Amino acid sequence: MTENLNKASFSRHLGERFRVRLDSSEKIDLVLIEVKGLSKPGKDPGSEPNENCKDPFTTLFRGPHEPFLKQQIRGLEHNQMGDIEIFMVPVGQDELGLYYESVFN
């Protein structure tokens, strides 16, 4: 399934809920709120992008204020993307909830 984890596959699901497995019985919902492309790294600063590198991108999810999810690999469930595992990092919070980012490169 990891070959299908690309910017386009996530972009199709902006605004949708992904269920995060906290343990064998507890799950919470996160909403995918942003998918953003990153520039491809070059070999040296200012050089041409490395064409062997896949298109890097980030995803940003919003979740509830509780529980706080520490950074780690998380199992997510989505009705169309299926079960996936991604490394998520908490990156902020506001009145709407907590935010978690994943970088794909």
Instruction: Dump pLDDT digits (tens) for 34-68.
Output: 999 987 666 556 655 545 457 899 999 999 999 99
pLDDT tens-digit map of 77-91:
999 999 999 999 999
Domains identified in the chain, total number? 1
- For residue 41, what are the domain limits? 2-104
Length of the chain: 105
Q: How many CA atoms lie within 13 A of 15 on its CB side?
A: 1
Q: What is the pTM of this model?
A: 0.84
86 closest CA partner among 74, 101, 100, 78: 74
